[in-house]
C-alpha cells in the first residue's frame, strides 16, 4: 500500500541566515569523487579540521562509514550503489541545511549518480563537485585498504577502476590532482574555496560600495542644501547628514545581508553582535563630522566588515571627491572614482594601492581637527627623521598612507572607536602597512567595548617607527 499521500513534510521556521549567525557557515556540500585510494578521505579530514579550527561548522560524510550504518543493507550492484549515493545526497542536504559545510567522500563512479546528487542538494545548498584525480596505478601503489590486491586477484568483483568503470567528471567545479599535490595542499585549495563561498567577497564589497555611494549622494545633498547640528552626550557633534547616512547604510545592509550584525556610531549598540559568528559591519556614517561642518571636504563614509574578531573588508567613500577606497583580506587595496564603478565591477577594479618605500625621512600624517600633545612630542623628538607632515580629516590619513602620500600616523588616548579605524585598518594592511595599537599589538575587532583604549599607529614599514619613548 502506498501511503505517500499521507505524508506532509513540515517546513522549518528558521531562516538560513539565522543559522549562519550561529555556525558561521553557509550551506554547502563538497562532493568528492574519485577512485579508492585517490586520497578523498585524507584530504577531506584535513579540510574539515581547517574549517573547524577557523570557527566554521563543517561535517565529513565518509562513504565507508555510511555503509556501516545508514546504508548497511545495500549491496554493490548498480542499483544498490545508486541508492547508496541517493541516501548520502539526502543526508548531505539535511546536514548542510543545518548551516554547515559538508564534505562527502564517495567513489560515486557514474555521472548519473553525481548529477542526481547535484539535483537533490542544489535546492538547499551550494553544490561543489570535486574530482580527486589519481590513476589506477597510483591508487594501487598506495592501496591503503589492501583492496586493489584482492581486486586484481579477482577476489572482489565489480571493483571500480579494475573490473568496473569509473566515469571521469566532465566539468567538476574543482580538480585535485593528488599525484601533483600533497593532501595538505589539496585541503588548502578546498579551504580557500570554502572561505570565499562563506564570505562571498565580490558580493560583500559590491554591497558595501553600493551602500557607500547611496549614503554619499544623500550626504552631498544635505551638504549643499544646509543642515542642522546638535551635540551628543559625549560632546561630539551630530548633523542631520549623519543620521540620514546611517539610515541608508543600515537599511541596505539589513535587507541585503541579514546574516550580519551592525555596529554603528549612530545606533544603540546591541550585544547580539558579539555572538554573531557570521560577521558584523562596523560603520561610521560620517567619519569627520567636524570637517563636514567646516565644509572642507575631508569627511568620509567608513564601512568595515569583521569576522572572528578580525577586520577582513573595508570601504571608505569620500563624497566631496567622488572617490572610493576599498580592500578585502588577501585581495589588495584599491582606489576608484564614483563614475568608474559600473555594473561589471569586480575586486581589482581601480588603482592598486601600495605604501611608499620611505623609512629614513618619513612623512607624518596628523589629524586636522585633533592635534594632541603626544603628536607634538613626537615631532619634537624626531625632527631629524621627519621629512614633512600632512594633515587630513577623518580616516583619510589612513588612505594617504595606503597610497604612499604619507608614511606614519600615531594616535594616543581613548578617543577613537572601532568605527573610526576598522575600514582604514584593512585598507592600510592590504596596501602593505602595519596597523596596531600603540604597543604594537593587533587590534581586536567587534569587542564588547568598542573604544580603542590603547590608541593606534600605522607604519608603512617597521623601519619607519619613530622614537616614542616617554610619550603616553
Are the beta carbons of 175 and 131 closer than 8 angstroms? yes
Based on its alpha-carbon atoms, the radius of gyration of the chain, rounded to whole angstroms, reads 27
CB 427 within 8 A of CB 326: yes
pLDDT, tens only, 198-246: 999 999 999 999 999 999 999 999 999 888 888 888 888 899 999 999 9
Q: What is the pLDDT of residue 204?
A: 97
Domain with CATH 3.40.190.80 in the chain: 362-464
> What CATH code is assigned to 201-352?
3.30.540.10
Q: Which three cell numbers stand for residue 455?
A: 590608541
The more confidently predicted of residues 127 and 137 is 127
Q: Residues 25, 33, 41, 108: which is the catalytic one?
A: 108
Are 58 and 100 within 8 A, CB to CB? yes
Residue 371 has pLDDT above 80, yes or no: no
Per-residue model confidence as pLDDT tens digits over 30-65: 999 999 889 999 999 999 999 999 989 999 999 888
What is the overall mean pLDDT for the chain? Answer: 92
- CATH 3.30.540.10 domain span(s) along the chain: 201-352
Q: Identify the three-state secondary structure at position 470.
A: coil
pLDDT category, 6, cuts 50, 70, 90? low
Q: Give residue-wise pLDDT tens across range 305-330.
A: 999 999 999 999 999 999 999 999 99
Q: Is the pLDDT of residue 1 over 60?
A: no
Strands (E), 80-162: 101-105, 126-133
* Domain at 362-464: CATH architecture: 3-Layer(aba) Sandwich (3.40)
What is the reported pLDDT for 49? Answer: 97
Collapse the DSSP code of 352 into the 3-class scheme (helix H, G, I; strand E, B; otherwise coil) and give the result: strand
Cβ partners under 8 Å of residue 155, min gap 6:
none
Cα distance between residue 401 and residue 253, in whole Å: 29
What is the pLDDT, as a whole number, of residue 2? 56
Backbone torsions φ then ψ of 343, nearest 5 degrees: -60, -30
pLDDT of residue 271 exceeding 60, the answer is yes
Give the N- to C-terminal CA distance of the chain in Å, as an integer.
Answer: 83
For 4, 91, 208, 222, 339, the CA distances from 431, given in Å and listed in that order, are 60, 44, 19, 33, 23
Neighbour-count burial of 211, counting CB atoms closer than 10 A to its CB (0-12 exposed, 13-18 middle, 19+ buried): buried
> Nearest CA to 350 among 408, 430, 231, 257?
430
Domain with CATH 3.40.50.300 in the chain: 15-199
Q: Is 108 a catalytic residue?
A: yes
Class of domain 15-199: alpha beta
Q: Quick one: average pLDDT of 90-95?
A: 95
Cell output for 462? 617597521
Percent of the chain with pLDDT over 90: 72
- Residues 242 and 2: their CA atoms lie apart, in Å, by 64
Cell of 419: 568605527
Q: What is the pLDDT of residues 403-460, one digit of tens each?
A: 999 999 999 987 789 999 999 999 999 999 999 999 999 999 999 999 999 999 999 9
pLDDT in tens, 240-266: 999 999 999 999 999 999 999 999 999
Q: Which phi and psi (to 5°) does residue 148 adopt?
A: -65, -40
Of 307, 328, 324, 306, the C-alpha closest to 316 is 324
Amino acid at each position: 500500500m502506498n501511503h505517500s499521500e499521507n505524508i506532509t513534510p513540515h517546513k522549518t521556521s528558521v531562516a538560513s541566515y539565522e543559522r549562519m549567525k550561529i555556525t558561521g557557515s553557509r550551506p554547502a556540500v563538497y562532493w568528492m569523487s574519485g577512485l579508492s585510494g585517490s586520497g578523498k578521505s585524507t584530504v577531506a579530514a584535513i579540510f574539515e579540521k581547517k574549517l573547524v579550527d577557523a570557527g566554521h561548522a563543517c561535517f565529513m560524510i565518509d562513504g565507508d562509514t555510511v555503509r556501516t550504518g545508514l546504508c548497511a543493507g545495500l549491496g554493490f550492484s548498480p542499483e544498490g550503489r545508486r541508492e547508496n549515493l541517493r541516501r548520502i545526497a539526502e543526508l548531505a542536504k539535511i546536514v548542510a541545511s543545518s548551516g554547515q559545510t559538508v564534505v562527502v567522500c564517495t567513489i560515486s563512479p557514474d555521472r548519473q549518480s553525481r548529477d542526481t546528487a547535484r539535483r537533490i542538494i542544489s535546492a538547499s545548498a551550494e553544490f561543489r563537485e570535486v574530482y580527486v584525480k589519481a590513476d589506477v596505478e597510483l591508487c594501487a601503489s598506495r592501496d591503503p585498504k589492501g583492496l586493489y590486491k584482492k581486486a586484481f586477484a579477482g577476489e572482489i568483483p565489480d571493483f571500480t577502476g579494475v573490473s568496473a568503470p569509473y566515469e571521469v567528471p566532465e566539468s567538476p567545479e574543482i580538480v585535485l590532482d593528488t599525484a601533483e599535490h600533497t593532501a595538505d595542499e589539496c585541503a588548502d585549495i578546498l579551504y580557500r574555496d570554502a572561505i570565499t563561498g562563506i564570505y562571498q567577497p565580490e558580493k560583500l564589497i559590491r554591497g558595501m560600495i553600493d551602500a557607500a555611494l547611496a549614503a554619499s549622494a544623500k550626504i552631498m545633498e544635505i551638504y549643499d542644501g544646509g543642515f542642522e547640528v546638535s551635540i551628543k552626550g559625549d560632546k561630539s557633534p551630530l548633523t542631520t547628514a549623519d543620521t540620514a547616512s546611517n539610515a541608508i547604510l543600515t537599511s541596505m545592509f539589513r535587507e541585503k545581508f541579514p546574516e550580519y550584525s551592525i555596529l554603528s556610531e549612530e545606533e544603540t549598540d546591541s550585544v547580539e553582535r558579539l555572538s554573531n559568528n557570521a560577521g558584523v559591519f562596523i560603520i561610521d556614517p560620517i567619519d569627520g563630522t567636524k570637517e563636514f561642518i567646516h565644509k572642507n571636504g575631508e569627511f568620509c563614509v567608513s564601512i568595515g566588515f569583521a569576522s572572528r574578531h578580525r577586520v577582513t573588508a573595508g570601504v571608505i567613500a569620500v563624497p566631496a571627491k567622488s572617490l572610493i577606497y576599498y580592500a578585502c583580506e588577501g585581495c589588495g587595496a584599491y582606489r576608484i572614482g564614483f563614475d568608474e564603478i559600473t555594473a561589471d565591477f569586480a575586486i581589482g577594479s581601480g588603482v592598486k594601492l601600495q605604501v611608499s618605500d620611505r623609512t629614513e625621512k618619513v612623512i607624518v600624517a596628523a589629524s586636522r581637527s585633533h592635534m594632541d600633545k603626544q603628536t607634538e612630542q613626537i615631532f619634537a623628538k624626531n625632527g631629524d627623521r621627519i621629512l614633512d607632515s600632512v594633515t587630513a580629516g577623518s580616516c583619510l590619513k589612513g588612505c594617504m598612507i595606503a597610497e604612499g602620500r604619507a608614511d606614519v600616523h600615531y594616535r594616543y588616548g581613548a578617543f577613537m572607536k572601532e568605527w573610526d579605524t576598522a575600514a582604514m585598518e584593512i585598507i592600510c594592511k592590504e596596501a602593505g602597512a602595519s596597523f596596531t595599537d600603540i604597543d604594537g599589538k593587533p587590534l581586536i575587532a567587534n569587542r564588547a567595548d568598542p573604544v580603542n583604549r590603547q590608541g593606534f599607529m600605522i607604519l608603512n614599514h617597521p623601519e619607519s617607527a619613530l622614537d616614542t619613548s616617554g610619550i603616553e
